[in-house]
Structure formats: C-alpha cells, structure tokens
Structure 1
Amino acid sequence: MVSLGGIARKIFGSSNDRRVKSMRPRVEAINAMENEVAALSDAELRARTDQFRQDLANGASLDDLLVPAFATVREAAKRVLGMRPFDVQLIGGMVLHGGDIAEMRTGEGKTLVATLPVYLNALAGKGVHVVTVNDYLATRDAEWMGRVYKFLGLTVGVIVHGLSDEERRAAYACDVTYATNNELGFDYLRDNMKYERGQMVQREHNYAIVDEVDSILVDEARTPLIISGPLEDRSEMYNTIDAFILQLEPADYEVDEKQKTSIFTEEGTEKLENMLRAAGHLKGESLYDVENVAIVHHVNNALKAHRLFQRDKDYIVRNGEIVIIDEFTGRMMPGRRYSEGLHQALEAKEHVAIQPENQTLASITFQNYFRMYAKLSGMTGTAQTEAEEFGNIYNLNVLEIPTNLPVRRLDEDDEVYRTVEEKYKAIVREIRDANAKGQPILVGTTSIEKSELLAERLRKEGMKGFQVLNARHHEQEASIVAQAGVPGAVTIATNMAGRGTDIQLGGNAEMRIAQELGDMPEGEERAAREKTIRDDILALKEKALAAGGLYVLATERHESRRIDNQLRGRSGRQGDPGRSKFFLSLQDDLMRIFGSERMDGMLQKLGLKEDEAIIHPWINKALEKAQKKVEARNFDIRKNLLKYDDVSNDQRKVVFARRIELMDGEGLGETISEMRESVIDDLVNINIPENAYAEQWNAVGLKEGVRQYLNLDLPVEDWVKEEGIAEEEIRNRLTELTDKEAADRAERFGPDIMAYVERSVVLQTLDHLWREHIVNLDHLRSVVGFRGYAQRDPLQEYKQEAFELFQAMLGNLNQAVTAQLMRVELVREAAEAPPPQAPETHGHHMDGTTGEDDFGDTGLLVRQEVARVVEPEDRDPNDQSTWGKVGRNEACPCGSGKKYKHCHGAFA
C-alpha cells in the first residue's frame, strides 16, 4: 500500500528534487553566457575579477554576481585545468554558496565544485577557508585548484603543520586559504594566548567550505582540540590524599567493579572532610562546596587507584614507573598514561616518583569552532544519514546533488555466515574469483588489525601483489588508492583510508605520469611518454570495464550507515559499472550486540550448514534498523557533550573578547582604576558589613587586606575610632590614597612604560586564572554526574556552579592585578623589552575511532624561556624582576612571611 507521502512525492517530487529544480534557471543563465565568456582573452577574463569587486563596492550583492562569476570560473577551469564543470557541479556550487551541504557521489568532482563558490565569496575580500582532512589534501588542492584562482587574480595560501607564525599570517591574509581542521582550530586557540594583536595570525571567520564534512564535523567532533602545558608540581597533594585513603574502611566507600565506579558513603565523606580540614586543605564547610572541586577530583582518583586498579593486572611497576597493561591484549603499553590525574594517583599509591601532570591551557570543540563562521558549508559523498545532526548543531541543510550520469553500480544483498571463520573463508574465495577474471577489488575493513588479519590469510593462500592501506601516510595512501582501479588490483583498506582521492578504472593518469616521469623536462620525449601512459590506461580501463568495474567487498558492517555508504560509493563513478557486497557473521560486533544468539539458534533449526550463507533483503533492513539505533545513541552522546562545552564556550568567548579589547586598547588606565575600586569595595564590604555598629567593624582585617592588595600601610585602626566616621568616608580615603600612589608610580615611569606594564600584567594574570578555571571546570564536570543520584539535573548544576566559579575568577582577577600593579617596580629598559611569551605547549586531538593522538609528540606549538634561579640573598623584596623562579612552597621574597603560592604566587 502506497502512503499519501509517497503519492505526493511521485507527483510533485521530493523537497530535495524541488530545490534542485529551482536552481536550473540559473544553470541555464550560466550556460547562456558560455560563448560570450569564451570569446574573451586571458587578460579580459582576469579583468572580470576587478569589475566584480567594483560592482560589490557599488552595492551589488554576491547573489547578484553568481551567474557571471560562475561562468567566469567555468571558463578559467577549461583553460587552466582542461576541466569544464558539468551542470550538476554548478548546482553543487550554488548549494555551497547558499551555506548548506552538497551531498555528491564519489567521482563527481567535489574539488572542482568548490572553486565556484570560493571565487565568488573571495571577491568580498574577507577571506575564504577551504577545510580538508589532512595536510596532503590541503597542499594538493591548493596547488591544483590554486591555478584557477591565480589565473583570475586571487591570492592562495595553504596552512599545514610546521609553519612559522609569519608564514601562517601570510597564508590567512590571502583571498583563499586551504587548511586542515586541526590547524585552523589550533591557530585560533594559540592566537588567544598571544600578548600583542600583531602576533595573531588569523583574521575574521568569514566563510568556510568543509570538504569531507561528515568526517570533520561528525567523526572528528567527538573529541575537542586541546592545547596543554606542564602543570605545577602537585606530588605533595597526591601523597597526602593517598595517605588519607589508606585510613578508610570498607564501610566508607562503595565499589561497582562491573561499572568501574567507586563513590564515598556519607560516613566516608565525613571522615575525609575531618582529615582534610585538619591538614588545612578544605575550604568552607563541605567537601562538595564549589571551592573544593579540585580536592574532590583528587580524592575520587585516589579511591579509584586503590579500589578499582590492581597491580599486575591493570598495570605493573617497572623501573620506578607505572606501565599500563592493555585489558584486551594483555600487553604492556609503555609511554601511555592515564589522564586527568589518575596516573599520578597510581604513582602515589605505589610510592614511585610522581610525574607532573599536563594542564589544559585552552580547548575548543570543532562544533564551537566552526559555528563561529559567518557562513559555513560543506561537501561529501555521505551526509544524508546525519542530516538531523547537521541541522540541529550547525544549522546546515543537506541537499543531494544528482549525478552527472546514471549510477550503474549493483548493490547486492549482504551474505551472513554463522561464524567469523566461515565468513573469512567466503571472502578469500570471493577475492580469488574476482581476481581471476581481472576485476579490480577494494576490500573494506573496520580496523587496521582486521586489515592485517585478512592480508595474512591471503598470503597463506598464496596471493601476491595486494596492497594494505591504513590512514597513516596520506600521500602514499593517495597514490595507492588512485591505482586501485587497475584490472586485477586488490586493495585492502580501513573504511576511512584514501578519502579525497578518486578511484579511476584503469588507473589515474596524472598520478602515473608524476611517478614515472618525475622531473623529466618538457619536450617531445616527455610528450611521447605521456601519450604512451594515457593510451595504456585507456586499454586497462577497457579491461576493467569488461570485468565488471570496481568490486567493493566489505568484511563487516560499521555501526554507522554513513561509513558503509562511503565505502560503497568508491565504486560506480561517472556512470561506470561496479558492484558492492557486505560479508557478515553472527559474531561481528554489530550482530552480537543486537541479539544474534537468537538468530543463531533459529538458523541451526532451519538447517543452515557450515560455510552456507543466508541472503535476504529483510536482513539488510534489520541491520539498517540496528545501525539507526547506534547512530541515534552516538548523536545523543555528542549532543550531551556539546551542552556541557557550550557552557565553557560562552565563558571562553567572554575571556577571548576581553583579551582582544585589552590588546587593542591604547591605555588601560580606566580599566585598572575600576579594578582597584572593585577591590576596595570588596574589602570595605567584607570588613565593614552594612548596618553593623562601629565596634563590629573588623579594622585588623581591613588593614591586612589594604596591605596585601593595595601595598599601603595605613592607620585604619585610628580611622575607625574617629567620631561619626562612616564606611563611605573610609572608602573614599582608601580610593584617594590608592589613586595617588598609582598616579605617582605612573609618573615615575612614564605613560608608555606604564601602559606596557599594565597590559602585560592584566593579560598574563587573566591567562593564568583562565587556565586554572579550565582545570576547575574539568574537575567539576567529572564530579557533577553524581548529583543525578540526588534527583538533581547534572547539567543545570554544572551551569550554576560553572557560573559561580567564573564570577570568582573575575573577582580574583581584580585582586591579583591590583596587588601586582601596586607593587611593581621597573627599570627604564622595560618599554623596549620583548612582549611576554606563551608557556611551552603541546597540541592534541584524539582520533575518535582509534583513540590515538593525531599530533602525537609532534604537536609542540610554542616555546618558553626557562626562568632563571636566583639565590634568596640576591632578591630585592621590592623588585619582583630580581626574584627569578620561586618555588611554590618557598617563603615569598616580598617579606610577607607567607608561602609564595599564597602571596605573589597566587597571581604570578
């Protein structure tokens, strides 16, 4: 029975069809201009760029220029690349210009499609970013498509790993910039750690086109980009907490080994609070007060270390180090460390040297980075299955672009075997049969390990000449994938490997010419050799076509339909024939999770023999339902993570905007004055409560606060004894004397030096407090989930307490800046001193599928000079520049008698 919706679609077409149809008139208008534009000389064609820019200056919109601009790019591509964008590619370009996602099948020329909206939007002069999944593709596409842009008078830059700030700044200043998502995100974070506006490399986030948009905005968006640096030594704290845990009894905590969780009981919490209070580590009344989130994090890790992690099972102690044991393979994993302080808790438990933690200095999710662009669009072969996520999170619609030629690929029903062993036997047989008739085969696996397992089976069967690919060396990978369409080729790849490279039947002529002819000079000999290669590829293509085109053979279903569709889509490009088939077993992860035990029993009753497969469209539908469930669950997880990150993102935007204001401001005198007034208000309000009698005023506390934060020794006790004095009078006296002291200091050093010092102190203090705040938010996030047991919404609790922490951070900023500026003493050369440098940092992005760090040990981003050590007797208490590096637990050199970490170290 056909639904009403199905009848309506047959009559009127789907909404996708209607949108595509609405773009046809513009396509016809571009086609109508083709002869006119083709008649122009190269110089006249290039001159159209200046004319378009003039039109924009005169009030025309980019939409007004779409038809003539697209016609110009089409002609330029014909002349420079020998490629003429098809009508469907023009439609793809319009979708991208409109700020949506163009879903285009593999081989439909997405790289060329991007040139159309890139050129049009670059005319505005605000920069266009084209985002790719790896450095190889960024470099390749910038060189390849860059020829079109340069021909039309635009500048092109490329951002890859290892560039200096000057090179990055120049690339971002170009009309068109190609870059990877990781580099863009890291540059944004690093820019917001700089101390002068001129040091920043990025400009405004105007327009981005994301290639392989599903990979970048969905798969890689599972984990944030992180810039980290070494944290202060906290070994004393770990050892203290560890000693407390040893004093607890089984009644003081509950452990769930199955869920790998441990929590303190009420009795345990009370015991800990008493011990922490006695040791001077507890602030406020309760362990779970917002000021104690870091302590809660420490005690939870210590409990996990003692009660959930077993020596010689989960880890071993070797050469004075904790070495993790892989729970699946039983192998040691030297060099790997548990994060968030858990590894340090284990080191304290085993009484080995505690290695310093890495502190998160800055982080951002790809969701929040890419949502900063005024306009965002993307292209991929597979986005429709994630359309809801693109719409909800990025406000992007997905539009399916028709293929240039009808798809002739045959997608066969899955073959399901009872065991993995039977499945692999069938796969090896299938590969042998296809290979024997010269059909090129692309074998897709879900992991590198499974690729190696299949390769080993093929070797035992005597097969040679096959290629095993994984996403490690992108350039080699691209050249191997490009030749996967040669007759008889067998290429085994993980599902994500080789994206961005077209598999052409017979092989890729440009790749072969580059590999075989290399740097051979232009001339008759090279031309003859090129012709030979192209003729050979045409002959090989005919053989591959005769054998049935590319055969995509998948060894397993992925939990995401989109990954399966990516693999299928490698076959059947530009109307070529092809086929695809998935081989499954009831022992595969997806089948096992969704009740294959019942199916196994049923198949045995039905008499399914060994090495026999069950093939039926119903199984495909059942699997699709299972995949939809997993996709929905993963989407919910990402959405939930984003809700938490949005809280810190709002605060991040405030801090980063404040930094830019501070760097742009000519003088910060007014801001500094407001900070001083805020500190004075707080001191007076705390020590002279509203409506309190004079004898209830805390004169001693006020005097100490004035000395600590304003560096003034004032007769506050005498003031409060004066007859009839009011708190307002005390406030005014403090303000007047503080302003005078600040003005005298500014006059001594001159306005230029003072402005430099004020900016440096405020920025460095803000950065220090922001980094501590990030750590506190991480700790808060890890403990707030327990609030759910008390029927309280963890997200709402997180929002409320994160706000309180942020307000406290801003209050600390006022105190720390005021205290430092009221003490600072300078030498004249300070004005010519180089700007402060960001601390030594590393960049990290964990691969959502492999769990490995994309940047590994290569993510060193910024270096810092090592602070010199100065002997105590050589330090001038009044000149902080003579102190050098001061230990956190040393007496503060200012002479206050406090530890450095509780005095100047609180804001240094």
Structure 2
Amino acid sequence: MFRVLNKLFDNNQRDVAQIVKTIVQPVNALEEETMKVEDLAAAFMELRRRVQEGGESLDDVIIPAFALIREAGRRSIGKRHYDVQLIGGYALHKGRIAEMRTGEGKTLVASLALALNALEGRGCHLVTVNDYLARVGAEENGLLFRTLGLTVGLSSRELQPAQKQAAYACDITYVTNSELGFDYLRDNMAQSREALSLRADFPLNFAIVDEVDSILIDEARTPLIISGAAEKATDLYYVYAKLIRRLKKGLPAEPGVRTEPTEDYTIDEKSKQVHLTEQGISKIERLLSLNDLYSPESMEKAHMITQAIRAAELYKREKDYIVNAEGEVIIIDEFTGRSMPGRRYGEGLHQAIEAKEGVKIENENQTLATITYQNFFRLYSKFAGMTGTAKTEEKEFLDIYGSDVLVIPTNRPVIRKDAEDLVYRSKMGKYRAVVEEVKTMNASGRPILIGTASIVTSEQLSGLLTDAGIPHSVLNAKFEAQEASIIAQAGRSGTVTIATNMAGRGTDIKLGGDSESIIGESIEQQLGISRFSPEAENFIKAISREDPEAAHLGTLIPGITPEFIAQAQQLHADVKADHERVKELGGLHIVGTERHESRRIDNQLRGRAGRQGDPGSSRFYVSFEDDLMRLFANDRVVAMMDRLGMDDTQPIEAKMVTGAIEKAQARVEDRNFSTRKQLLEFDNVMSKQRDTVYAQRREVLLGPDEDVEESTEGMIADFVDMQLATYVPIEQNADAWDIEGLQTAVLDAVPQLEGFDFEGLRSRTPAEVQNALLQAVADAYDARKDELGPTMLNSLARYVLLQVVDQHWKEHLHSMDVLRQGIGLRGYGQRDPFTEYKFEATNMFNEMIDTLKGEVTKFVFRMQFGQSA
C-alpha cells in the first residue's frame, strides 16, 4: 500500500515524466534534422542573436539549442547525450539540484545548461572542488563548446589579473569554489578596474556547482577569509604548548556519579571544545603569576591556552592535518581526504598546532575580507548544482538556497549488491576481517576499493595488506599527485586500492581500467607532449572508439612512431578484454572500513561500484571503537556483546546495530546542520553590511566621475548634518548650542571655512543654520574643484574613498571578530547572544559609516599631492 501511495505522490517521478514529454521527446524529434546541419557554430550563434536581439527567452530556444549541443558533443568528443542527461541539463537550467549516480556523466550534463545560458552573453561558471577537475572539465567540454562558437576559460590561482579577466570574459569559465570566492573578495579590495578578475558588468550571472553537497554542505561550515598579518607575538604559543603538558585531563561532571569535573580540564569530543576547571584555572594563574586569568588584560592568554589544549587533545596529525616536507601544517579536508594548502584554522588554533608540532609559527592573521559560501552563491542571479547524493539534504538546499533536488534516473539499471554491515568489538578485529575479505576477493581477480576515513587508517591497513602479501595502491592527502591515475585504474582485475574518502573525486572507476588515461600518460611520459593538446586528444579518442582513422591521426603528433600507435591500440584491446573479465567476476567490490558521520559520504563510496549498469558489490566493516560509534552509538549493544562473550572474530549483523549507526549519523548530521545554520545566521547580519560597502565601493571604482562626485558631495553633506545634530540639536534653545564645538569639528575637516561666522549662527533658526553651513561647505568644495580641476579632484576623491572605506572596513571586520568570539558570554546574563550580536553589530556599522564620512571629508579638503594631510 505504501509503495502505491509513494508512487502516487512522487513529485520527482512526475517532474521527470513532464521533462521527458516537453523537452526530451521534442529534442529527439529534431535529432535527425540537426545531424544534417553543416555549420553548428553558425546555427548556434543564430540562436544567440534571437535571444540577445530578438527578445526571445532561453526557454523559447531550448529545444533547438539542446539538439545542437547534443550534436556538437557527438561530433567533437564522440559522446552523444543520453535522454536522462537531457533531463539533468534541463534541471540545471531551471536552477535545481540534479542528483545523478556516479558514472552517469555529470560533466557532459553540465554542457547543456552552460551552453544554453551562454546564449545571453553574460557569462557562466562551472564550479568544481579542485583544480584537476576544473582543468579536465574545461579541456573535455571545451571542444564541444568551441564547436558551437562559444569561448571557454579556466581560472586558477597562478594567473595574473589580466589573465583572469580574459578567463572570466569567456562565455563559460571553469574554476574551483575557493578560487572563485577569493576572486570575488579580491575584486572588492581592488584599487583599479585593471585589478579586477570577474566581469565588471555581470560578475555573478549563472553558476553550476559540481559536487554541490561537498561545497555547499560540507565546506559551508568554514567561511572564505582573506587575511593580512596582525601584530601579535607568536612566541607565546611555544610557551603555552609546553605549559599545558603540566596540566592533567580529567572527566566532566556526570549526574549521579560526580558533581564536579576532575583534574585541570575536560574535553568534549563531540563539539571539539575544552573546559578549564577551577583547579586548572588556579594552577595556570600560579604558573604564570597571574591574579585573574579572565581579567580583561589576561583574556588573550586564556584564549591561547585553551587553543593549545584543543590542538593537543582534539586535532590529530595524519587525520586532521599533515606536516609537509617544508614544515608547514596543512589541513586535511575531513570529507574528501584532500590536503588544503593555503587554508588555516582561525582564532589562533593553527598557530597552536604549529607550536605543538615544533615547526615555524606563521604570523596570526587579521581578516581583511570574508564571506560564507552560502551568502556568496546566493549572490548569483541563478545557480544550480549536481552531485551523486543530495536528496537527503534537500531541506537544507530549499531553506538556504531555494533550490529543490531532482533525482535523475540512471541510464541503465543499478545492479550493485549492497551487503549488510559487519560490526566487530574492536578496530583490530575489524581490520583483520577486512584483510581476510580482501585476500579472498583478490585471489579471484576482482578489483577492490577500500575506503578509509583517515590517513592513519589507510597506512595501517596498507601495512596489514603488505604483511599479507597483497599488492595495492594508496591514495590519500600525501599522494594527491597520483590521484587521477590511481582512481582511473582502480577497476583493473587484481587491483587493490586504498582511498581516504571518495567524496568529490570526480574520476570514474571503469571496469578493466581506463585506456584513455593509460595512453595519455604514455604520450606525456614517452613523447613529452600534453595529453590535452588537440592532436593528442583526437588520437586518444580515436583509439578508444576503434576509429580506422586513429593511425592517421597519430601521425599528426610530433615524434610519434608506428610502434607507439600499435602499442596504444594493444593497450586499448587489453583494457577492453579486462573489462569483460572483471564483469564476469562480479565487478568492483567496495570495502568501507568505517561509517562516516555523513550518510552521503558512505553513499558516494558505494556509488563507485555499479556505474552504467556494471555489476558490483559493497560492504561496510564497523567496530565499536570507531569514532562515530564510540561517541554516538548505543552503549547497550556493547554491553550485550560482552554478556554474550563475543570476541573479535565474531561479527554481528543485526538491525539493532544498523539502526544505532543510522541514528548516530542522523544526530551528527543534525548537529552539523545546526552549526552551518548558526554560521549563516551570524553572517547574514554582516551580509547586509558587506553588500552596502561593496556596492558603494563598486560604484566608486567603476562609476563615471559624475557618480563619484555625487557620492563625495553626499558624504560631505552627511558629515555636516552629523555635526549639526551633535552640537546644535533642534530640540535645544540657541543658548544651549555648542557653537565652539561645532566650529572646532567643522574646521578640523574643512579648514577653508576659517573665515566663516560661526558665532553669528546663534541668531538663526535651526533650518537657517543648516542651510548656511551646507552652502558654505559647498562653496568650499567648488573652490577646491577650481584649485585642482574637476578631473584631478574626482581622481583624488576616488582614491580617498577607496582607501578610507578599505581601512575602516578592515577595522570593522576585526571588531566583528572580537564581538563574535565573546558574544556567547551574554547568554550567562539571560540575554540572547544572537539578538545582542545583531544590536551591537548594527551600532558598530553605523559608527563606522559616520566615521568614514568624516574621514572622507577631511581628506578631500586637506590632502595635497606630494604632501601629507
């Protein structure tokens, strides 16, 4: 009955059926006619003319556009869009999240929505999680886009502003999420139009976010921050790293057991927080000769000591970070297992870890510009996303981004077999069972992918497999350079691959291996030619398609020999034969060594097997010593195992245990969602302020002289009004006015009013006082314009506005950081911290704006070229 009801009310199935009827079938009907079109670029540019000049919408031309894009794919890269890929392309065009299984060709799906939206000429961004995926996507789909007459760019961190301008000026730009966000922030710190990276006209028009759950869910807890060095002594971190070794970790208070925590401090692994006990505070005060650790002058010391304890107890080497050969502490992304060079923990935590490891401490940074991913992507006129796992997070996508999830059917049915979890008493019992299963599977020749959650686990398992005599490859944050080749060949018979977190890898595991990747590596290694050169790409694809023209295309590559061409053809034949062999053996087998705190990550690991109708299987191995089970699972299950006398050789496979795991994951997901939501709520307060400042700044940077002059005059008038409100308030009699104070304040900013009769203002009404003073300042401004010339004055005003805004915005961000760190203490006074934060932040912003107007006025009237103000 429930299946019938689910089918009856399944909006997803209804939406898919509607798209098939209105989009897929009409596009298919045009296919034969489109195949006869000789010049696809000319036909596509005609659609652009209809959109830009004829007033037609993208929806008006979507059917012929999709037909042309599909034909361009067939001609340029030998890939014809499946019907289900047309469904995905339409969903992306409509700003939805497309959930597509691994191996369903998301890269090709994106080409439909990107090319269609490029018809408007406003620029489109394909946002990926790493540079490799951005480069490969730009290269692969670049041929398709250029066949349609579109331009394609790639933005990366090593490019100069002029090169970035060229990349973003293209119809379609591939870029990583972090680089795109930093480009936006840097643009809002630029001092000239030439320093901009993004388009000046439509900087954030349309974006497709690949691995959208990884970027907008997993990474959303960490805001993007551009920092500059702050003036703070770093040697103290070394001192406190040594000091905390004299402190003892205790147990927290527990109802019915102990009323007070024990020893000097306690830790909360779930929230990654540290709490000093009264005993610990007294010991620290004695060791540092302090009267009060939490006095205003010692608050910074308390903060640094807390971070030192967190670094020692809660952040583990090889799991949370690595130390590279240069002695740098590099954060490891907990969801993808990748290293994140350039990213640093905030609030002194990174420095505390560097002190713990005994490496050079980099200067602590001060925030110069910041934005969360949530608020950044909401700046786009339209944005969409695609991933293999999004439906479980649909509520968050709807609440925060206004985007729902459409689950796209697979091109072929999924026949992968997912076995129940096996749960062991201890980690070592679990690892021994994993090795035994790998040994059995490997003996049959099946390829095996082992997923781990940390570098420590991957290296521990690698040692056990080595001891067992099982050849294998390891992929983790230490070996990212080999990522593509390791993953591409993980489907070959007899292959065993250990990978730390498979989320967002972006490389398909093909049964039998990937002949294109193997041949491409041979071309680079033997010939020294990029596999992405047009000649090499044409040759590689011809070999993989078994095109009779392959040998001829090979001769177009400098230095290639007939022997190399024959070798490439044999490599492809071997891979093809191995593909059939692996299929007969049962396909790729997935072994999960522990459950991740997010169900999506587990699903992504499983999704590596069974692509495009291939056979495959998966099983997770869990122990009660795993972090997830230890922190969140039900203790009664462990007690039951003890009562039954079960040892490490006896796994349990019960719904009660599976239920405990699922509940633990759901609790962690809820906690993480709360963290992201709280981060967004606080950032929303700053978002309005940031929008105001950045809009003003952009107007000054890019606007004509008339707009700059208008902004400057407006600020000067506001400054005068503020002084009047302060010194000659309307509600007071003239006798109570502080004319002397008014004179001092105004002359400090506008010395040209030295001869103005301030004392004579006493005999006038408030309105007359305002008119007289505003007119005097306007006359002084006109005199200043005559002195410097209109062009010079506007250049001066533009420079002053940018400099003053940047300086005060930087100081405001620092004040906001301080406010954010301490606002939680308001809760002890029965006041809502968030309400207090909004109130304080609004007052601080208004004060900043008032100060800014005074500074601009002072600089405009006082600054002399070649002299200080």
TM range (shorter): 0.7 to 0.9
Q: Secondary structure at the match of 1:33?
A: helix
Q: For residues 768 and 339 of structure 1, what CA distance do their matches in structure 2 show? A: 21
Give the Cα–Cα distance (whole angstroms) in 2 for the partners of residues 16 and 345 of structure 1: 49
Q: State the shift of 1:329 in Å.
A: 6.2
Does residue 407 of the first structure (1) align with residue 404 of the second (2)?
no
8 Å CA contact 2:274–2:309 kept in 1: the answer is no
Alignment deviations for residues 349-382 of structure 1 (CA, whole Å, 9 cap, x no partner):
xxxx999642111011111111111111111111
The corresponding residue for 2:781 is: 742
Deviation at 1:701, TM superposition (A): 2.6
Aligned to 1:808: 847
Compared CA separation, residues 125 and 67, structure 1 to 2 (3 A): same
Matching residue of 2:64: 68
Comparing 406-415 with 23-32, which one deviates more in the overlay? 23-32
What does 1:446-845 align with in structure 2 at a 5 Å threshold?
A: 446-464=453-471, 466-471=472-477, 474=480, 476-496=482-502, 499-518=505-524, 519=527, 522-523=554-555, 524-663=562-701, 664-667=703-706, 668-711=708-751, 714=754, 719-720=758-759, 724-726=763-765, 730-826=769-865
2: distance between equivalents of 1:773 and 1:175?
37
TM-score (norm 1): 0.78
Task: Give me the whole-angstrom Cα distance separating, in 1, the residues matched to 2:863 and 2:295.
Answer: 36
Matched, 1:432 2:439: yes
Structure 1 residue 186: Cα displacement: 0.8
Change in CA separation of 1:696 and 1:600 when aligned onto 2, cut-off 3 Å: same
Q: Contact 1:302 / 1:346 at 8 angstroms: preserved in 2?
A: no
**Distance (Å, rounded) in 2 between the aligned partners of 1:746 and 1:101:** 54
Contact 1:422 1:611 in 2 (8 A): yes
Q: How does 1:203-242 map to 2 (within 5 A)?
A: 203=199, 204=202, 205-231=204-230, 233=231
Provide the secondary structure at the position in 2 that maps to 1:584: strand
Q: By how many angstroms is 1:628 displaced? A: 1.5
What's the offset of the Cα at 1:707? Answer: 3.2
Report SS of the residue matched to 2:146: helix
Match of 2:373 in 1: 366
Structure 1 Cα separation of the partners of residues 673 and 302 of structure 2: 32
Percent identity for Structure 1 against Structure 2:
45
Measure how far apart 1:821 and its partner are: 1.5
Structure 1 position 200 matched with structure 2 position 214: no
The secondary structure found in structure 1 opposite 2:554 is coil
Tell me, yes or no, if structure 1 residue 21 matches structure 2 residue 17: yes
8 Å contact 1:471–1:477 — kept in the other structure?
no
Structure 2: gaps (5+ residues): 241-262, 267-272, 279-293, 330-343, 355-359, 530-552, 556-561
How far does the alpha carbon of each residue in 1:620-676 deviate from its partner, in whole angstroms, 9 at most, with x for none? 233222212211121111011101001111111111111122220323333323322
* Distance in structure 2 (CA, Å) of the matches to 1:566 and 1:202: 33
SS in 2 for 1:626: helix
Give CA deviations for 1:724-765 in whole Å, capped at 9, x if unaligned: 455555545543443333322221221111110011101110
- Correspondence for 2:46: 51
Distance 1:256 1:218, change over 3 A: farther
Contact 2:753 2:776 (8 Å CA) reproduced:
no
The structure-2 alpha-carbon separation of the partners of 1:31 and 1:526, relative to structure 1 and needing over 3 Å to count, comes to: farther
Aligned to 1:88: 84
Amino acid at match of 2:60: D
Q: 1:825 to 1:330 in 2, by over 3 A?
A: closer
Q: Distance in 1 between matches of 2:18 and 2:125?
A: 27
Q: Offset of 1:257 from its aligned partner?
A: 3.6
Per the alignment, do residues 55 and 712 of structure 1 end up closer, same or farther by CA in structure 2, a change over 3 Å counting? closer
Deviation per CA, 1:557-609: give whole Å up to 9, x if none: 00111000000000011111110000011111111123443212212323424
1:836 corresponding residue in structure 2: none
State the distance in 1 between where 2:606 and 2:167 align: 36
Contact 1:407–1:573 at 8 Å: present in 2 too?
yes
Residue identity matched to 1:410: K
- Partner of 1:852 in structure 2? none
What TM-score does the superposition give when structure 2 sets the normalisation length?
0.82
In structure 1, give the amino acid aligned to 2:573. Answer: D
- Aligned equivalents of 2:61, 2:55: Cα separation in 1: 11
Q: How many Å separate the matches in 1 of 2:86 and 2:44?
A: 19
Q: Structure 2 vs 1, CA of residues 691 and 206 (structure 1 numbering), >3 Å: closer, same or farther? A: closer
Name the aligned partner's letter for residue 71 of structure 1.
A
Name the CA distance, whole Å, in 1 between partners of 2:821 and 2:62: 50
**Residue 687 of structure 1 aligns to which amino acid in structure 2?**
Y
Shift of 1:164: 0.7
Residues 507-538 of structure 1, C-alpha deviations (whole Å, 9 max, x = no match):
00100111124448823544432321111011
1:818 CA drift (Å): 0.9
Check conservation: 1:302, 1:345, Cα contact below 8 A: no
What SS does the aligned partner of 1:590 have? helix
Separation of aligned partners in 1, 2:681 and 2:486: 41
* Paired residues of 1:439 and 1:551 also in contact (CA < 8 A): yes
Amino acid at match of 2:135: T
Answer yes or no: is the 8 Å Cα contact 1:105–1:381 preserved in 2. yes
- Superposition pairs of residues 329-344 of structure 1, within 5 angstroms: 339-340=346-347
In the TM superposition, residue 46 of structure 1 has moved relative to its aligned partner by: 2.5
Contiguous gaps of at least 5 residues in structure 1:
243-254, 265-294, 316-323, 348-352, 828-878, 881-893, 895-908
Residues 263 and 300 in structure 1, CA contact (< 8 A), matched pair in contact too: no
Distance 1:723 1:46 in 2: 75
1:178 aligns with 2:218: no
Q: 1:719 to 1:754 in 2, by over 3 A?
A: closer
Offset of residue 128 of structure 1? 1.2
> Which secondary structure state, in structure 1, belongs to the residue aligned with residue 449 of structure 2?
strand
2:620 aligned counterpart, secondary structure = strand
Deviation larger for 778-787 or 564-573: 778-787
- Matches of 2:370 and 2:736 in 1, distance apart? 47
For residue 388 of structure 1, report the CA deviation from its aligned partner.
1.2
Please give the alpha-carbon distance, in whole angstroms, between the structure 2 residues aligned to 1:36 and 1:305.
70
Amino acid at match of 1:371: R
The amino acid across from 1:522 in the alignment is G
SS in 1 for 2:410: coil
In structure 1, C-alpha distance between the alignment counterparts of 2:583 and 2:56, rounded to whole Å: 50
Could you say which residue in structure 2 is the equivalent of 1:260?
A: 274
1:188 and 2:184 equivalent? yes
Amino acid at match of 1:114: A
How much has 1:493 moved relative to structure 2? Answer: 0.4
Judging changes above 3 Å, is the alpha-carbon distance between structure 1 residues 541 and 296 closer, same or farther for their aligned structure 2 residues?
farther
Q: Distance in 2 between matches of 1:721 and 1:446?
A: 78
Separation (CA, whole Å) in 2 of partners of 1:544 and 1:360: 53
Task: Let me know the Cα RMSD of the aligned residues.
Answer: 3.2
Corresponding residue SS for 2:675:
helix
One-letter amino acid of the counterpart of residue 469, structure 2: G
| 8 Å CA contact retained: 2:430, 2:622 | yes
Q: Check 1:343–1:705 CA distance in 2 against 1; reply closer, same or farther (3 A cut).
A: farther
Residue 130 of structure 2 is aligned to residue 134 of structure 1:
yes
Q: Give the conservation status (yes or no) of the 8 Å contact 2:761–2:769.
A: no
Task: Give me the whole-angstrom Cα distance separating, in 2, the residues matched to 1:812 and 1:170.
Answer: 38
How many angstroms does 1:83 deviate by? 1.4
Q: Which amino acid aligns with 2:5?
A: A
Tell me: CA distance 1:472–1:368, structure 2 relative to 1, closer, same or farther (3 Å). Answer: farther
Question: For 2:650, what is the secondary structure of its paired residue?
Answer: coil
SS at match of 2:723: helix
Residues 401-459 of structure 1, C-alpha deviations (whole Å, 9 max, x = no match): 11111111100000001111111110111111111110100000011121111111222
Q: Compute the displacement of 1:74 (Å).
A: 1.4
